[in-house]
């Protein structure tokens, strides 16, 4: 039994004494101990692929802050790496692929890797579960089919997604093939994470908000729904809730809420009170403090946290988080101030 099951209860819409809080990218470059571990690993990818170091890094923020969950330290691009696209990272530029998907024959030959090809992730999950000793739940995750496709076609991050959008409009059948393979790969990978010990699942649709409404429905939402429908909902006696987050998806909250997910992540551009009225009781809402708030004085952080809590209002169905990942330039003590403020101030709403 979890000693702190507040997050799982909130995701199941059960009463909680306060609003649980965890932070996207909570194990990351803003922590000096993370940077030390990354230096020992040699590079980011080596850190991801070393279960001992991945476990150490996953646990680092929990040693500092009273967070209500751990999220596995890994990367969304482990799947296309296992597909043979040659993932590497350039300091200051981010992820790159040696063999991006440009030619039709490469796309037609794409395969969904067996989760065993990602054994290092599953081994890290098992190690983290043992190390947590049921103190807090462990969140597993993956990128969405469309977000992975963006990196796989562009060859890295892109400001305008020009290459993948050209494919979307000129050869949509090729993009659909990539998305279908990604969908099957992600579903199998997340179910393997659940078998390995993940107690909640998050799907990151980082680039879905770059699409038009019609394109979002066809090329992102449709595949998100397929992944959610294929997820294991139970592992042993545990119910395993899931969270879907489309950055920039504020236009489509009702449609995302209808795909069968348990919780809907929202970014900081959305008013969480208005979002609650729009989706009603269909899903739990996760979010949605602007990550830049954490650059401010702790008094300002406390006030902005209070505003988010007040906007959501009374009752359950809220998981506090940032509207996107914590910045590498954030002072660690400001994260602590946020976590403490949420725990203290949210009790008035429960």
Active site residues: 25, 29, 38, 75, 151
Closest to 292 in 3D by CA, of 344, 264, 330 = 330
How many residues comprise the chain? 350
Element (H, E) at 61: helix 51-64
Structure tokens at 39: 């230096």
Alpha carbon dihedral 160, 161, 163, 167, in 10-degree steps, equals -120
- Which residue has tokens 């954030």? 330
- Which residue has tokens 């007040």? 310
Q: 138-143 and 200-205 as β-strands: parallel, antiparallel, unpaired?
A: parallel
Element (H, E) at 239: strand 238-239
Residue 83 vs residues 48, 101, 114, 185: alpha-carbon distances, Å? 17, 11, 9, 10
Cβ neighbours for 152, distance < 8 A, ≥ 6 positions apart: 80, 83, 85, 97, 100, 101, 178, 182
Written as one string, the DSSP assignment of 82-108 is HTTS-EEEETTTEEEESS-S-SHHHHH
Any idea what the Cα angle at residue 245 is, between residues 243 and 249, rounded to 5°? 140
């Amino acid at each position: 039994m979890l000693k702190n099951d507040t997050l799982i209860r909130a995701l199941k819409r059960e009463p909680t004494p306060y609003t649980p809080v965890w932070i996207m990218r909570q194990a990351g470059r803003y922590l000096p101990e993370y940077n030390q571990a990354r230096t020992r690993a040699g590079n980011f990818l080596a850190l991801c692929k070393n279960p001992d170091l991945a476990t150490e890094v996953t646990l680092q923020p929990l040693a500092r802050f009273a967070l209500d969950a751990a999220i596995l330290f890994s990367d969304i691009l482990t799947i296309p790496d296992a597909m043979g696209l040659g993932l590497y990272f350039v300091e200051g530029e981010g992820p790159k692929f040696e063999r991006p998907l440009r030619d039709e024959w490469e796309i037609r030959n794409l395969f969904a890797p067996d989760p065993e090809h990602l054994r290092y992730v599953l081994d890290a999950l098992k190690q983290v579960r043992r190390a947590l000793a049921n103190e807090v739940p462990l969140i597993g995750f993956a990128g969405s089919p469309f977000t992975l496709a963006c990196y796989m076609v562009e060859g890295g991050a892109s400001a305008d997604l020009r290459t993948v959008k050209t494919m979307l409009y000129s050869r949509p059948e090729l993009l659909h093939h990539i998305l279908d393979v990604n969908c099957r790969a992600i579903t199998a990978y997340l179910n393997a994470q659940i078998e390995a010990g993940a107690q909640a699942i998050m799907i990151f649709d980082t680039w879905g908000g770059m699409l038009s409404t019609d394109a979002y429905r066809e090329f992102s939402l449709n595949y998100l729904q397929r992944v959610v429908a294929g997820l294991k909902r139970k592992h042993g006696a545990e119910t395993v809730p899931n969270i879907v987050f489309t950055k920039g998806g504020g236009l489509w909250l009702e449609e995302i809420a209808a795909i069968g997910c348990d919780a809907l992540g929202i970014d900081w551009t959305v008013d969480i009170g208005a979002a609650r009225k729009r989706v009603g009781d269909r899903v739990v809402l996760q979010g949605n403090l602007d990550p830049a708030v954490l650059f401010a004085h702790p008094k300002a952080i406390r006030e902005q946290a209070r505003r988010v809590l007040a906007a959501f209002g009374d009752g359950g169905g809220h998981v506090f988080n940032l509207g996107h990942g914590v910045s590498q330039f954030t002072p660690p003590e400001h994260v602590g101030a946020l976590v403490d403020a949420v725990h203290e101030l949210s009790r008035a709403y429960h």
